[in-house]
Structure formats: C-alpha cells, structure tokens
C-alpha cells in the first residue's frame, strides 16, 4: 500500500467506500469539509494499479489529535492496512505537535477495538447513542493514547 494525501478528486471514491462499509456513513460533503478545514487526510492505494484500499483522517490542534475516520475496503481487511493507516495518522499527528490522540469506536466494532488496544489506546469514557446505524443509534467508546514516545512520521508525499 502506498500512502498519499487525499484530494478533492478522490471524494467520490472515498464517499462510495464509506457508504459501503459504514452503517452510518459520512457524506461526500463531510469529507470535503475535512479537506477544506485542513485536516490531515490520507489514502492508501495499491502500489501497482492505484486502486483505493482505504482512507484515514486526523485533526490536530492544541497538542491533541483526533482520529476522525479510518476505512479499509472489505477485501483488504485483516491484512495490516488498517494498522498501517493508523500508525501513519498517529505519526503525522506527532509530527504536527500532538501529544495525545483520541478516537471513538463503535461498541460493536470489536476488530477495531482490538487494533486500537494493541497499539496502546485505553478507554477513557463512553459517548451514549453517538453513532447512527441501521437500527437507530449506538454507543461509542472513547479511547486515548499518549504520543509522547510515538515516532515522528516522515511525509511520504
């Protein structure tokens, strides 16, 4: 997987992937707003045919990072791509001055929780009815990670 910065030209593909994988998907407009706000947004693409493998977005400010969204195509899951994307986002956050990272994860998303915990994230709270899904709403776990000793990411672009 090759990482590159997300651009406006990528929004249709990213929104289509999000609609495929999320029970409460972000819209194209939300992804556009992230780019307009200057959030650090990345794509993972196949090195040979540039096919979209996944995406990740992190916002950084006031020495804090918030991992906003990560998505990996179903056929590329459980192959380390989500871990690679998350490590990249956390390294970029550290490079941009973040000392701590936060994220929310659906209580039903055990695979993502396992990934986050394997990297040292720990639970600091619960947001009730945070996520939309096909049955209404779902709680989110709020996780945190200190980035004090996290390696700085070099910019691959």
- Domain locations along the chain: 2-146
Residue entry with tokens 């040979």: 48
116 classed as catalytic: yes
CA pair distance 40, 59, nearest whole angstrom = 6
Q: Which residue in 18, 39, 104, 138 is the catalytic one? A: 104
Query: Tokens in use for 147?
Result: 């980035």
Q: Which residue in 18, 39, 116, 138 is the catalytic one? A: 116
CA pair distance 39, 59, nearest whole angstrom = 5
Confidence of residue 150 (pLDDT cuts 50, 70, 90): confident
- Per residue in 45-70, pLDDT tens? 999 998 999 999 999 999 999 999 99
Q: Does domain 2-146 have CATH number 3.40.630.30?
A: yes
Global pTM value: 0.93
- Per residue in 100-122, pLDDT tens? 999 999 999 999 999 999 999 99
CA pair distance 13, 51, nearest whole angstrom = 10
39 classed as catalytic: no
């Amino acid at each position: 997987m090759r990482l590159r910065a997300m651009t406006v030209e990528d929004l249709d593909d990213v929104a289509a992937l999000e609609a495929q994988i999320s029970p409460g998907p972000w819209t194209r407009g939300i992804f556009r707003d992230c780019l307009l706000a200057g959030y650090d947004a990345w794509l993972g693409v196949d090195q040979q045919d540039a096919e979209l493998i996944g995406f990740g977005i992190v916002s950084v400010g006031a020495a804090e990072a918030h991992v906003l969204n990560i998505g990996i195509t179903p056929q590329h899951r459980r192959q380390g791509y989500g871990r690679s994307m998350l490590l990249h986002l956390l390294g970029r956050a550290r490079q941009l001055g973040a000392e701590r990272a936060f994220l929310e994860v659906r209580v039903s998303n055990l695979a993502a929780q396992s990934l986050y915990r394997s990297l040292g994230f720990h639970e600091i709270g619960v947001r009730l009815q945070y996520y939309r899904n096909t049955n209404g709403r779902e709680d989110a776990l709020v996780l945190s990670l200190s980035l004090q000793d996290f390696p700085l990411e070099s910019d691959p672009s």
